[in-house]
């Protein structure tokens, strides 16, 4: 049975976050039941993979494959139409062709389906005939109160109910929400993020945004308990004013990191033929976003690194960083990178230098900042030095390499134990001192026992000095932006 | 028996590359026999690991552990002194303390040892007492004609004889030579490079450079058959004029990519306490390097990516790039990145667009460049489009994502075969057309069968659009620099 239309149908899109939008989108991101329209037993069909993803990622609600003829698909009872499904359906995922989508959506409206993800392509992006079908679909949705993602998208991931209708390998669950106007790039990036160990609360491939658009997602995510940080890949924004207004509100609580594509003429040309997005005046838009407090990224991979830091670490009060490593080269390159990103690496006062020197062997280089710990007296000195640095009122955050050494089979047990204890003390520093720590290490080190300890402390982990500094800059940027946004009220 | 001193002892360092320097350094990088002075059976000692590394990496020449008491170390006959070794010794590796090093070096001189790698620290970097010992060591070497690396370094790797005296895991053999003024950073970077699959001809941790310095290494590497590209991590240069003169000669044949540390005041302070390097006027030095044709990198990890491309791909004639992918988002972000790195992404002429369109389905986005291949007609279309692009006289290089799709267990055999054939055709394009191809893909894709094919074609492989564009820029930069260097004569 169709629910009552909760808004002024077809004329007025949602302008304010309210219980209504939240309720509507919860049906999409926290459904109790999912119908897969176009599910298939034929492994060559997209509908096979989509149902596979839903099952494999571990969705525990009801799953209803919809297919005109099959009785059982991948072990689940199949139905010819959503109208034949005995229970209620919160969410319908569409992977039939465009014509069939319109017809099936009518049936969904009659059934009272509450939300949809329309993966199907062949709508507005192919021209007038597609545009008509897209409008028809929007009208059905408006009439019935159904909201939908897409069309012409890759699907969604929602950690809240382990719902994956797009990826071969589901993302890890975690605090980053990612809204992407590109499906394949989104998939690609999530694959890299998975390798890096980053977790996601939501992935939303927004597609043609015929109904729900990036502004709706932002509103929804701003109150989403699972989301701490939002990454946007945008090729164009329909309503720039609304986007900025909503963003200003969102960043009072959560950071937004945006890669806006089409910042050059070649990029604009590509965006145009990709999603027919009019990139508009890029510089004006960027300036407005900066003013709104959105963190802009010009390197889409790096956007996730910054998001990872923002999702896990306390915000610094300023831009003053201590750099420390068990090796001089890392100290030098990180100090350079910090300066390049507008971070200060203040020289330590002489009293602090003396305190740190007492934890180092006599032949150590002077610990002015950066602090080269190559000749620390023992594993615990590592933690003690980090604590001294974190305790300084003129240090706002720390970039370090962790105490990796000494996990060979001949490492004495006492030494190993001290290393572990040291890492555990370091892992508590961000909480204890309210200051962020960013850590560096080759990816291979993620197999290292110390990494597990840092991970429990939510200390973000990056490969190179440059990325560490960029992530710290992101923390500084957001700390300032949030302060301004809250001051504005 | 000591060889005749081949140069004006102690006064005049080498100023020209000649047979002499090559002969001398071949004893270090292509030794037939290696003595490990300070080799140990005690797993807690550095000398244990060093000998382990030599054995494990597969050095096939004679290995002589030197230890005052032990008779057998790690299965090899040990000697109390190099003077007791029955055969000739080309190279001695030192990991005893500084005092013992001076004494053992005297013995090496008497024995006629030809080269040394002095890992031992505690020389000039600790002050006057160390400086005296360092001078003593230099005098011994000058008298006997022995040349040496270090002291206060991590050691060397040489692929020519699989000699590794520094790393727990030996690097892969390949065409990049890396000279690093930081040992631990060098080790760290090599670890990341190993993960990325990059291969090295030499790693030289240059340390205090008491005898051999970066200029000597550059001269030697310029004629080293195993080396195609040289990466330098420098904290300071003793003789800037000589460095620039040699570099200008080297880049007629091989690219030099340099990370010069200490480009900011914090970095300079760190470099000072790390290797006592006076960074000097960074901007002047950078300008001089640019003029000499050295490729500068401000991101040390990225330096290896650029080196990887330069070691394997033909040089482009200009900066005009075609971008192609099976997904619009990659096209957009790569086009943006290209523009940011000063590369042009020219719009394709209408005839070429028509030819490419015939290989795409009707609903494809217009292939103006970037070319989105999401709807290519079959796997072979991928190769055909790449060939069309490579054949254009206004395209100098290609950035692409490879034809990954379709290696699931249900992929039809014919489709899979066509994919492989397509990749093989693409792998031949750089050779056939004399134009570089740079490829993108998550690291996980290195397990993909298509990756193996690209690797045979030496097509470099990077994770993100930004790195692909940076690497292409590196090729363009070097092509120009080499042209200028050769024109200068």
The alpha carbon of A332 is separated from its chain's Cα centroid by a whole number of angstroms, namely 31
Q: Region A431-444: what's the mean pLDDT? A: 95
Band of pLDDT at residue B277, cut at 50, 70 and 90:
low
Which range scores top for mean pLDDT: A267-271, A347-351, A375-379? A347-351
Distance from CA of B263 to the nearest CA of A (A): 6
Region B110-129 average pLDDT: 93
| B15 pLDDT more than 60 | no
User: Which of B56, B129, B188 is the best mutation test for A, with the most CBs of A within 10 A?
Assistant: B188
CATH code, residues B314-485: 3.40.50.261
Q: B365 to chain A nearest CA, in Å?
A: 5
Nearest to A222 by CA among A190, A255, A244: A255
Distance CA B149, CA B141 (A): 11
Provide the number of CB pairs (under 8 Å) joining chain A to chain B: 231
CA B450 to chain centroid:
25
Q: Are strands B437-440 and B461-462 parallel, antiparallel or unpaired?
A: parallel
Strand, helix or coil at B86?
A: coil
Closest CB to B326: pick one of A184, A333, A336: A184
Q: For residue B100, how many C-alpha atoms fall within 13 Å in the half-sphere facing its CB? A: 16
Parallel, antiparallel or unpaired: strands B115-118 and B147-149: parallel
Using a CB-CB distance cutoff of 8 angstroms, which residues of chain A are in contact with residue B374?
A: 184
* All structural domains of chain B with their residue ranges: 1-152, 154-312, 314-485
Q: What residue in B sits closest to A185 (Cα-Cα)? A: B329
User: Which chain A positions have a beta carbon within 8 Å of B183's beta carbon?
Assistant: 327, 329
- Taking phi over 0 as left and psi of -120 to 50 as alpha, with beta for the rest, B475 belongs to alpha
Give the architecture (CATH level 2) of B154-312.
3-Layer(aba) Sandwich (3.40)
CB neighbourhood size of A463 (10 A): 19
Which residue from A minimizes the CA distance to B42?
A410
Q: How many residues does chain B have?
A: 489
Q: How far apart, in whole angstroms, are the C-alpha atoms of residue B451 and residue B423?
A: 9
d(C-alpha B358, C-alpha B351), whole Å: 11
B256 Cβ contact list (under 8 Å, min separation 6)? B218, B229, B230, B231, B232, B247, B250, B293, B294, B295
pLDDT at A372: 93
- Of B323, B440, B484, nearest to A274 (Cα)? B323
pLDDT at residue B417 is higher than 70: yes
pLDDT of residue A474: 97
Nearest alpha-carbon partner for B387 in B421, B341, B342, B356: B356
Give the chain B residue whose CA is nearest to the CA of A276.
Answer: B365
Q: According to the model, what pLDDT value does residue A77 have? A: 97
Q: Do B339 and A410 touch (CB under 8 A)?
A: no
Which of B184, B300, B463 has the CB atom closest to A301's CB atom? Answer: B463
CA of B429 vs chain A CAs: smallest distance (Å): 24
pLDDT at B169: 87
Does B329 contact A410 at a Cβ distance shorter than 8 Å?
A: no
Q: Which carries the bigger pLDDT value, residue B144 or residue A275?
A: B144
Say which CATH topology domain A153-312 has.
Answer: Rossmann fold (3.40.50)
Question: Min CA distance, A86 vs chain B (Å)?
Answer: 33
Test B185 with A327 for CB contact under 8 angstroms: yes
**Residues of B whose CB is below 8 A from A371:** none
CATH topology of domain A313-485: Rossmann fold (3.40.50)
- The C-alpha atoms of residue A341 and residue A184 are separated, in whole angstroms, by 30
pLDDT surpasses 90 at B17: no
Residue the block writes with tokens 């049936």: A107
Neighbour count for residue B191 (Cβ, 10 Å):
18
Distance CA B170, CA B15 (A): 33
Question: What pLDDT band is residue A286 in, cutting at 50, 70 and 90?
Answer: confident
Q: What percent of chain A has pLDDT over 70?
A: 93
Residues of chain B by 3-state class (helix, strand, coil), percent to 5: 45, 15, 40
- The pLDDT value recorded for residue A275 is 57
Determine which of B52, B272, B336, B344 to mutate to test the interface with A (most A C-beta atoms within 10 Å). B336
* DSSP label of B151: S
Question: In whole numbers, what is the pLDDT of chain B averaged over residues?
Answer: 90
Hey, are the CB atoms on B331 and A274 less than 8 Å from each other? yes
Query: Residue B261 and residue A443: Cβ atoms within 8 Å?
Result: no
Q: Which residues of chain B neighbour A270 with C-beta distances below 8 Å?
A: 323, 328, 331-332, 335, 370, 372
Comparing B1-152 with B154-312, is the CATH topology the same? yes
Q: Write the pLDDT tens digit of every residue in A169-214.
A: 899 999 999 999 988 888 889 989 998 999 999 999 999 999 999 9
- Average confidence (pLDDT) over A286-308: 92
The stretches of B264-403 forming alpha helices (DSSP H) are 265-275, 282-292, 300-312, 328-340, 350-357, 379-390
What is the percent of chain B with per-residue pLDDT over 90, rounded to a whole number? 73
Of A182, A363, A412, Cβ closest to residue B329: A182
* Residue A124 pLDDT exceeds 50: yes
The confidence score (pLDDT) of residue B438 equals: 98
- Start-to-end C-alpha separation, chain A: 42
User: Per the CB < 8 Å rule, is B261 touching A410?
Assistant: no
Q: Between A283 and A194, where is the model more confident?
A: A194
Q: Exposed, middle or buried, B350 (CB in 10 Å: 0-12/13-18/19+)?
A: exposed
- The mean pLDDT value for A220-239 works out to 93
Q: What does the pLDDT look like over B333-391, one tens digit per residue?
A: 999 999 999 999 999 999 999 999 999 998 788 899 999 998 888 899 999 999 999 99
Q: Which residue in chain A has the smallest CA separation from B340?
A: A264
B contacts of A301 (beta carbons < 8 Å): 463-464, 466
pLDDT digits (tens, 9 = 90+) for A368-398: 999 999 888 889 999 999 999 999 999 999 9
Model confidence at A280, in pLDDT bands (50, 70, 90)?
A: low
Q: Which of residues A23 and A327 earns the better pLDDT score?
A: A23
CATH superfamily of A1-152: NAD(P)-binding Rossmann-like Domain (3.40.50.720)
Of the pLDDT bands very low, low, confident and very high (cuts 50, 70, 90), residue B276 is low
Query: In this complex, do B332 and A182 lie within 8 Å of one another by their Cβ atoms?
Result: yes
Evaluate whether ipTM surpasses 0.90. Answer: no
SS (H, E, C) chain A: CCCCCCCCCCCCCCCCCCHHHHHHHHHHHCCCEEEEECCCCCCCCHHHHHHHHHHHCCCCCEEEEECCCCCEECCEECECCHHHCCCCCCEEEECCCHHHHHHHHHHHHHHCCCEEEECCCCCHHHCHHHHHHHHHHHHHHHHHCCEEECCCCCCEEEHHHCEECCCCCCCEEEEEEEEECCHHHHHHHHHHHHHHCCEEEEEEECCCCCCCCHHHHHHHHHCCCCCCEEEEEECCCCCHHHHHHHHHHHCCCCEEEEEECCCCHHHHHHHHHHHCCCCCCHHHHHHHHHHHCCEECCCHHHHHHHHHHHHHCCCCCCCEEEEEECCHHHHHHHHHHHHHCCCECCCCCHHHHHHHHCCECCCCCCCCCCEECCCECCHHHHHHHHHHHHCCCCCCEEEECCCCCCCCCCCCHHHHHHHHHHHHHHHHHHHHHCCCEEEECCHHHHHCHHHHHHHHCCCCEECCHHHHHHHHHHHHHHHHHHHHHHHHC
Cβ–Cβ under 8 Å, residues A252 and A102: no
The two structure tokens encoding residue B171: 């690097």
Lowest mean pLDDT among A132-136, A300-304, A307-311, B326-330: B326-330
Mutation target to probe the A interface, by most A beta carbons within 10 A, among B234, B266, B303 is B266
Query: For residue A11, what pLDDT band results from cuts at 50, 70 and 90?
Result: very low
Is the confidence at residue B7, as pLDDT, over 50? no
Q: How close is the nearest chain B Cα to the Cα of A6, in Å?
A: 35
**Closest Cβ–Cβ partner in A188, A191, A412 for B330:** A188
For B320, the closest chain A residue by CA position comes to: A266
- Of the candidates A184, A337, A339, the beta carbon closest to that of B329 is on A184
Q: What is the largest CA-CA distance in chain B?
A: 80
CB A35 within 8 A of CB A64: yes
CA distance to partner chain B, nearest, from residue A367 (Å): 8
The residue among A397 and A264 whose pLDDT is bigger is A397
């Amino acid at each position: 049975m169709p629910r009552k239309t909760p808004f002024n149908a077809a004329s007025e899109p949602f302008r304010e976050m309210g219980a209504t939008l939240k309720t509507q989108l919860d049906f999409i991101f926290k459904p109790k039941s999912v119908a897969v329209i176009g599910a298939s037993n034929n492994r060559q069909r997209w509908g096979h993979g989509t149902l596979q993803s839903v099952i494999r990622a571990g969705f525990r609600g009801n799953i209803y494959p919809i297919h005109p003829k099959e009785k059982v698909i991948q072990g689940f009872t199949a139905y010819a139409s959503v109208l034949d499904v005995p229970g209620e359906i919160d969410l319908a995922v569409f992977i039939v062709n465009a014509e069939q989508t319109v017809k099936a959506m009518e049936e969904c409206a009659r059934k009272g389906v509450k939300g949809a993800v329309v993966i199907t392509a062949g709508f507005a992006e192919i021209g007038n005939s597609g545009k008509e079908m897209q409008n028809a679909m929007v009208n059905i949705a408006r009439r019935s109160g159904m909201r939908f993602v897409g069309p012409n998208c890759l699907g969604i991931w929602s950690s809240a109910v382990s719902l994956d209708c797009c990826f071969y390998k589901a993302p890890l669950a975690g605090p980053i929400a990612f809204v992407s106007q590109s499906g394949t790039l989104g998939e690609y990036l999530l694959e890299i993020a998975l390798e890096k160990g980053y977790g996601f609360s939501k992935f939303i491939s927004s597609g043609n945004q015929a109904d729900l658009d990036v502004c709706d997602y932002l509103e929804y995510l701003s109150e989403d308990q699972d989301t701490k940080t939002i990454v946007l890949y945008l090729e164009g924004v329909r309503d720039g004013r609304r986007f900025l207004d909503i963003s200003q509100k969102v960043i009072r609580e959560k950071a937004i990191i945006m890669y806006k594509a089409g910042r050059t003429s070649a990029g604009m040309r590509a965006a145009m033929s990709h999603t027919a997005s009019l990139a508009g005046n890029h510089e004006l838009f960027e300036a407005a976003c900066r003013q709104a407090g959105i963190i802009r990224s010009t390197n889409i991979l790096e956007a996730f690194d910054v998001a990872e830091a923002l999702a896990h670490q306390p915000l610094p009060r300023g831009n003053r960083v201590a750099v420390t490593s068990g090796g001089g080269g890392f100290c030098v390159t990180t100090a350079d990178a910090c300066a390049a990103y507008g971070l200060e690496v203040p020289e330590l006062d002489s009293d602090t230098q003396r305190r740190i020197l007492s934890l180092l062997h006599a032949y150590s280089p002077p610990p002015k900042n950066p602090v080269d710990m190559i000749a620390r007296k023992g594993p615990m000195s590592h933690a003690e030095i980090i604590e001294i640095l974190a305790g300084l009122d003129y240090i706002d955050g720390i970039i370090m390499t962790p105490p990796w050494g000494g996990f060979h089979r001949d490492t004495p047990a006492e030494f190993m134990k001290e290393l572990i204890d040291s890492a555990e003390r370091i892992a508590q520093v961000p909480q204890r001192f309210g200051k962020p720590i960013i850590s560096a290490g080759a990816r291979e080190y993620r197999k290292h026992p110390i990494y597990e300890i840092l991970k429990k402390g939510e200390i973000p982990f990056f490969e190179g000095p440059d990325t560490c500094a960029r992530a710290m800059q992101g923390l500084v940027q957001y700390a300032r932006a949030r302060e301004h946004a809250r001051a504005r009220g």
